Amino acid sequence: MNKNQAGSAISSQALYDQQCSKDKPTGPFIIAINLQTPANIGAVYRLADATAAKKIIFVSDNDSDLRNNKVVKATSRNTSLIIDTEIWSHDEFHLNHQQLPDLIAIELTTKATNIFTTCLPFDCSFVIGSERHGIPDTILDNCKAAVKIPMFGINGSMNVSHALALCLYEWHRQHTLTGA
């Protein structure tokens, strides 16, 4: 007779209680440039919660606040209502980016290094760009480094929120999960 090696599913309430009782580390900042897709914006909020990001700064010259968009709220599982968030114009970003920790672009550039072999700074901000155009050169010029994710298929890139997830968890692997 086979014994269950995987265990059984944890109830929603038990999982919630477990999460509330944990000591939580503080993760990096997330800087999202010109994101357009509500599902990606919602995913960024959910990732910010899952990885204890310090704050999300959305940079866009479109003055609409998508936190109350129903797709954003549903995808984020309402974390859009609790995550510390700021919305900056591009001009505000260029005036204020020096106050942020090191900017690390998640972008395919001529100098991007493999995320899994790069020593990430403890105090940093991950920068992601729009789904279609990536991070503008005017913002890349302010980044200390760029990281990329190795791709093994035909496609050369992945969804921006998935790339952010990999980088945030790699940051945690390097800084908060040792000895855990």
pLDDT digit string, tens, across residues 13-66: 888 777 777 777 789 999 999 999 999 999 999 999 999 999 999 999 886 767
Q: Pick from 97, 67, 101, 104: which is nearest to 82 by CA?
A: 67
Structural contact between residues 85 and 55, judged by C-beta atoms closer than 8 angstroms: yes
Q: pLDDT above 90 covers what percent of the chain?
A: 71
The mean predicted confidence, pLDDT, of the chain is 91
Domains by residue range for the chain, with CATH = 25-175 (3.40.1280.10)
pLDDT at 178: 62
Structural contact between residues 69 and 39, judged by C-beta atoms closer than 8 angstroms: no
Joined tokens for residue 134: 């990536």
pLDDT at 180: 42
Question: Measured between alpha carbons, how far is 93 from 81 in angstroms, rounded to an integer?
Answer: 23
Give the chain's length: 180
pLDDT digit string, tens, across residues 76-105: 998 988 999 999 999 999 999 999 999 999
**φ/ψ of residue 53, rounded to 5:** -60, 145
pLDDT at 25: 74
pLDDT at 66: 74
The residues that bridge with 87 in the sheet, in sequence order, are 58
Whole-prediction pTM value? 0.90
